[in-house]
Structure 1
């Protein structure tokens, strides 16, 4: 074994960074492993009988926090090489000796609450300052309907103490807010419930749990219902070990590809990107904007189709981004707002209330990012309007307050690559939570980030 579960040590990037126009932005990079599937693979393997092997796991701070928590709950989780992990599952999780600290990971903490709910255990979930400000009640409410008892901080926030049960009730539940995290928490708890648990989504969200869990033997299905989705899981079936090769993350791929669109001197290609429709909204919007983008099928991994995506710099136009698109690109609005600044005309995005409950108030912070760099924006309660300035005409020169949000930090740096004047972000430490290879990938493409 290489280690007891920690990725190889690298100097952590932290503090401010400044991005400026480069003489070259082009090249080919492999997609960073998908964070959502990495979380789920570790959790499902940790509950399964036998030894699972995970290839290409994202070794980010968020995923490593999930791996540590699953280990604390009784599974044997070990790193065997670069991106290579072995998990000997514990079909009966136990109460951990200390708090389960999920750092900055909303996906990790919410899904793990659901996974832990089906066992006779008591666990106290904590996180960093940013995660502790995010709402947990949306997950806790349905779990209590299933028979879990919880104690949370004011406003249903962390720290949360959860008392699970091996005799959970199956429920039928319609989440009031479209959230793959809420759906997945309920489905993971439903693995141990008596009867069939059903989650009804009026607007379909990403279905990675529904795709991945059957590989581990779960009796879980999904069916489309117009724009919505109905997911079902029948409890009581034991999980077995499985081998998983994690596909590339479309959310992380958005940043080098955006750099190619707004600052490129030639083509930028990211290979092995997952094309799950519930995660691919940004790329469909880019097509609407007239981006020079090609999407070439490239096989599949873990039940998910892959593609190689190439972009070339060119003229973009402002578009209307309707609310129904939001669930398929909820994490990509900060970088879309940056791309919109380099388009010709107005881009109007609506249905974005969920952005106010992310690592930061991403809606207000995205508007502030652009305004600080000379771009005219209009902020609504659930909308953002960006008045595009065209290629080469975004002023830049501002300081971006990242508010402990990795996507804001990366979006601000991409803005600086195409702006007239350099753009500085106040901290980059949190980028490691989702995309630890960001700086290496951008440097390889020619980005000037100092």
Structure 2
């Protein structure tokens, strides 16, 4: 699949007995950060398990454009020869970040405190997404941004020649914004401080510490206060990327709703800032268990076993959990359709400005498949129909959004009639092996 190619419609049909081992790709969040921090180190960083989806490959290309040497061995090991903090060269060409909001925002942060300029663009979805949430705090360092109306790509960032450290309270929970500010703070003198009222995924903080940055986190009444001392010399690392919990969500949820299923998903990153979906599924009554818990590369990891769970019940997902599962709400809404009762999701305004308006995209498709959905600006409720009672039978719009496409293909595995998506090509941005992996477990998914 190619996120930029000819549309590929797909249809999923009712299936039974999904079984086997689902080896999902490496974690996308960790992969982006490993490439960027490797490029900002002095020496060679080795990365295994890197997600080789289009989003991450675009970030690798961007690091090359900024002067780092990035190569891949035949065995899948990646090597990044970094240029050091403040060592980015000015790119000769426009940086195309494809579909990746994470990639573009983190890269903007990483270059914003160097005296260079770079122009960023992406696909139609990324170019429609607002960047002011990142460019506003980067302006505090002294960087300037010139883009399209509404703060949208294509956009040129003029890095600060004499950056100053900042103290910034993140207005909405966003690991992307927090990470962009911290990466910008690397090349600013003194201490850069980020305050977040609600904890978001902390891969950046963990990885910065691993690369040798002086970074400290404390919890006070205002929330989490993260303090980074600028202008360190980052040390190259050897990184084993754990498997992505956001990708694991799809075979896990497919097993829970598909009769007779028993699926093992090994080596999943269970960082507490990422595991909200699995906590929620267990609260709904899912037969989901953790096996062989361990620590890999500074991240908690375990194998997940998911079995068919016909007795699911709707729940109210607390808004404070949203940051730990923001990308998983689309596929959670699919599981909720097969539960008894209502599943209420609050505090999810962020879903409105993802690759698509994910609340509207899922609500529209679920309604077309016979599921009642209520929605507001920052909440939505799925009225579950129970196992075996979801009609299906619709063609749903993916809206250039990988998670929307995968969620509806999971839905069709347990509906009365097949469910189609108009274009499955965006799936390649994060989960390029989704189709063969699900088919290997026994899912009936066909290209139209």
Is TM > 0.5 for Structure 1 vs Structure 2? Answer: yes
Q: What is the aligned counterpart of 1:39 among 12, 32, 38?
A: 32
**Deviation of 1:16 (Å):** 0.5
Does residue 305 (structure 1) correspond to residue 300 (structure 2)? The answer is yes
Q: What is the aligned counterpart of 2:70 among 70, 73, 77?
A: 77
TM-score (norm 1): 0.96
* 8 Å Cα contact 2:289/2:304 also seen in 1: yes
Does residue 107 (structure 1) correspond to residue 102 (structure 2)? The answer is yes
Does residue 364 (structure 1) correspond to residue 360 (structure 2)? The answer is yes
2:42 match: 49
Does residue 448 (structure 1) correspond to residue 441 (structure 2)? The answer is no
Q: Distance in 2 between matches of 1:53 and 1:409?
A: 33
**Deviation of 1:134 (Å):** 0.6
2:237 match: 242
Which structure ranks higher in relative contact order (CA pairs < 8 Å, sequence separation ≥ 6)?
Answer: 2
Q: Distance in 1 between matches of 2:334 and 2:192?
A: 41
Moved segments of 4+, more than 3 Å? 11-14, 224-228
Does residue 88 (structure 1) correspond to residue 84 (structure 2)? The answer is no
Where in structure 1 are there 5+ consecutive unaligned residues?
Answer: 1-7
Distance 1:343 1:70, change over 3 A: same
The DSSP-based 3-state class of the residue aligned with 2:42 is coil
1:3 match: none
**Deviation of 1:224 (Å):** 3.5
Output aligned runs, 1:262-411, within 5 Å.
262-314=257-309, 315-411=311-407
1:5 match: none
* 8 Å Cα contact 2:395/2:420 also seen in 1: yes
Q: What is the aligned counterpart of 1:117 among 107, 112, 116?
A: 112
Measured against aligned partners, the alpha-carbon deviations of 1:378-415 in whole angstroms (never above 9, x if no partner) come to 11121111110111111010111010000000000000
**Deviation of 1:227 (Å):** 9.2
Higher mean C-alpha displacement, 13-22 vs 411-420: 13-22
1:224 match: 219
Q: Distance in 1 between matches of 2:261 and 2:180?
A: 43
Q: Distance in 1 between matches of 2:180 and 2:61?
A: 18
Count of paired positions: 443
1:24 match: 17
**Deviation of 1:14 (Å):** 4.5
Measured against aligned partners, the alpha-carbon deviations of 1:156-214 in whole angstroms (never above 9, x if no partner) come to 11111111135311111111111000000000010111110010000010010000112
* 8 Å Cα contact 1:26/1:264 also seen in 2: no
Q: Distance in 2 between matches of 1:36 and 1:82?
A: 22
**Deviation of 1:132 (Å):** 0.6
**Deviation of 1:223 (Å):** 2.8
The DSSP-based 3-state class of the residue aligned with 2:333 is helix
**Deviation of 1:263 (Å):** 0.8
Distance 1:225 1:81, change over 3 A: farther
* 8 Å Cα contact 1:167/1:194 also seen in 2: no
Q: Distance in 1 between matches of 2:250 and 2:26?
A: 14
Output aligned runs, 1:249-264, within 5 Å.
249-264=244-259
Does residue 184 (structure 1) correspond to residue 179 (structure 2)? The answer is yes
Does residue 233 (structure 1) correspond to residue 265 (structure 2)? The answer is no
1:439 match: 435
Q: Distance in 1 between matches of 2:322 and 2:222?
A: 12
Q: What is the aligned counterpart of 1:418 among 411, 414, 419?
A: 414
1:197 match: 192
Higher mean C-alpha displacement, 259-268 vs 388-397: 259-268
Distance 1:62 1:394, change over 3 A: same
Measured against aligned partners, the alpha-carbon deviations of 1:98-125 in whole angstroms (never above 9, x if no partner) come to 1000000000000000001122211001
* 8 Å Cα contact 1:13/1:428 also seen in 2: no
* 8 Å Cα contact 1:94/1:120 also seen in 2: no
Q: What is the aligned counterpart of 1:430 among 411, 426, 429?
A: 426
1:63 match: 56
**Deviation of 1:226 (Å):** 6.8
* 8 Å Cα contact 1:410/1:431 also seen in 2: yes
Measured against aligned partners, the alpha-carbon deviations of 1:350-375 in whole angstroms (never above 9, x if no partner) come to 11111000000001111112101011
The DSSP-based 3-state class of the residue aligned with 1:150 is strand
